[in-house]
Amino acid sequence: MNSGSMKAISLFSSAGIGDLAFQKLPVEVLLSCELLDDRHQVYLHNFPDTFTVTGDIWERKAFIVEKTKELLNGDQLDILFATPPCQGMSKNGRGKLLSGIREGRKPKLDPRNRLIIPTLEIARALNPRLVVFENVPEMESTLIENSDGQLVPILGLIASMLGREYAGSGEVVEFADYGIPQRRQRLITVFSREPQFKKHLHLVGSLLPARTHSPKGTGKLRRWVTVRDVIADLPPLDAKDAGSARGEHPLHFVPLLDADKYFWVSNTPPEKLAFDNQCVACGFQGNPGHFAARDENGINRASKETPIRCLRCGELLPRPWVRKGGEIRLMKGYTSAYKRMAWDLPASALTTNFAYACSDNKVHPSQNRVFSIYEALLLHTVTDYRYEFKRKDGKRVGAGLIYHVIGESIPPRGLEIIFRHLLGLLNGDSDGMMEEDLPLFFKSNLETEYQTA
C-alpha cells in the first residue's frame, strides 16, 4: 500500500474473509481486532502487514484507539468496519423484550448484542469518515441496554452515539442481487460525516449500490448466478466411501455418510427433502409428506403424523429416523433438513454447519453428499482472492475451523462491490465506483495451495 491508500480498521474480523473485500481496493487495513486466537492466527498469515489485537473488545478498546492513532501517524481514519456477533439477535427479540417489560419483569438480554457499544466508543474516539456495520437482518429489530440502563434499538443507538455530525441508515441487502452465487441477506449499516454522503442519502435514499441481478434477469438486470453456473463442472464425489469422497483438489472432499444417512440422501429427488421420500420396496408414491404448521399458540411445529413406514407394504421409508429402545421413529427437526439445493438458483446461505446433511438445505443438488470446502469457497467467492487456510504460528488448520470461518463470514465479493461504491462516494462520485459490466460470475484459479484437514 502507498500513502494514497485509504486507512481502515476492522473489528470482529474472524479469519479475515470479510476483509478480503479490501484486497482489490485502495484500502489499507491498519488494525484488526478479534476475540478468538485461532481465527486471528489465520488472519495474521493472510494479512501480515495488519496489526492484530486479539481479545475482548471491552478490555482492549482503549489500546485499539491509541494503537490506531499511532499507526495513522497524523492521518485521518477513513473507514471503521465492524461485524459484531449475531448469535444473540432474534427476529422476535424486540417483541419478547417489550412483552417482558409490560409484564413487569426484566427479560434476559444477550450480552453479545452490547458489543456494539465499545465499537461505537472506538468510532467516537477515532472519528472515521465512514462507519460500516455488517450483520444479520434481525439487527433491525434488536433492542439492547444502553449505558443508562434503557432499552433502545441498536440502529437508534448507533445514530445517537455517533452524534449529529454523522448521517446514515441500515438496509437489508440480498447478496444474490449483486451477482453472488449465494442467497445471503445481511443488514449493511452505513454512517458518514462527509457532506457528499449526506447529500447522496437525501437525494437517493440509499448509500448502497443499486442491484445488478434479479431471479430471472429483467430489463438491465442480469439473472441470478446459480449453483450450476459455478460448480457443475467439478469432478463428482460420493459420500459412500473414502475412495469416492475425495477429489484431486486438496479441499474438494466431503465427510462420509453412514449407511442410514446415505440411504435417505441417495433416495432424495432433486430439490426435495428426505422427509418426503417414497417407498423403494414396493414403489408406492402416496405416502404423505412432511410439513410444519403453527399450533394454537402460534408456534411452528413439524407434523407428528408423517409416516416412517410405507402405508402400502409396511417397509421403512428412506426418511430420517431415530432408533431408540428397539423402535424407530421419524427424526425431529426442521422440515428443510436433508434437503437438496437447487441447481438453478444461487446456493442457500452457507452456515457453519454446511458440512452436515441434516443442516438446512445443504445436500448437493444431484450427488449423494454435502458440498466440499472447495465448492463452498467458490460459492462464497473466496477464490476471487489470495487466501490460504494457514496459521501464522504454523499450527495445522483443521476442516472444523474452515467450516466455521466460512459460515461466520459473508461473500467478500459482495462486500467489495459495496465498498467500491462507498469509496466512490468518498471520492465525490455521486454514482459510486460500480463497474458498468460486472462479470456474470467470478471464478479464479487458486494461486496458492490450501492446507487440508
**Interval 17-40 mean pLDDT:** 97
Backbone CA torsion sign across 92, 93, 95, 101: positive
Beta bridge partners of 153: 143
Q: How far apart are the first and last CA of the chain?
A: 33
State residue 96's pLDDT score. 53
Is position 115 within any domain? yes
- Cell digits of residue 445: 484459479
Looking at residue 144, the DSSP 8-state letter turns out to be: E
390 neighbors 453 (Cβ within 8 angstroms): no
Pairing mode, strands 79-82 and 130-135: parallel
- How far apart CA 21 and CA 409 sit, in angstroms, is 12
pLDDT tens readout for residues 374-433: 999 999 999 999 999 999 999 999 999 999 999 999 999 999 999 999 999 988 765 554
Radius of gyration from C-alpha coordinates of the chain: 24
408: nearest Cα among 59, 38, 94:
38
Percent of the chain exceeding pLDDT 90 equals 75
Flag whether pLDDT at 97 surpasses 60: no
**What is the pLDDT at residue 294?**
72
Grid cell in block for residue 87? 448469535
Q: What rounded mean pLDDT belongs to the chain? A: 88
Number of domains in the chain: 1
Position 86 scores a pLDDT of 63
Tell me, yes or no, whether 64 lies in a domain.
Answer: yes
φ, ψ of residue 258 to 5 degrees: the values are -70, 175
The dihedrals phi and psi of 30, each to the nearest 5 degrees, come to -75, -40
State the DSSP H helix or E strand holding residue 29, giving kind and residue range, or none if neither.
Answer: strand 27-34
pTM above 0.85, yes or no: yes
**190 in a structural domain:** yes
| Residue 312 domain flag | no
Q: Can you give the CATH number for the domain in which 148 is found?
A: 3.40.50.150
Q: How many angstroms separate the Cα of 31 from the Cα of each of 65, 320, 385?
A: 10, 47, 20
pLDDT band at 297 (very low <50, low <70, confident <90, very high): low
Q: Is residue 441 part of a domain?
A: no
Task: Please give the pLDDT value at position 332.
Answer: 84
Query: At 234, which amino acid appears?
Result: L
Residue 336 belongs to a domain: no
Which pLDDT does position 107 carry in this prediction?
55
Q: What secondary structure letter does DSSP report for 185?
A: E
pLDDT > 50? residue 85: yes
Whether 313 is covered by a domain: the verdict is no
Domain that holds residue 51: 6-221+393-426
| In-domain check, residue 66 | yes
Pairing of β 130-135 and β 185-192:
antiparallel
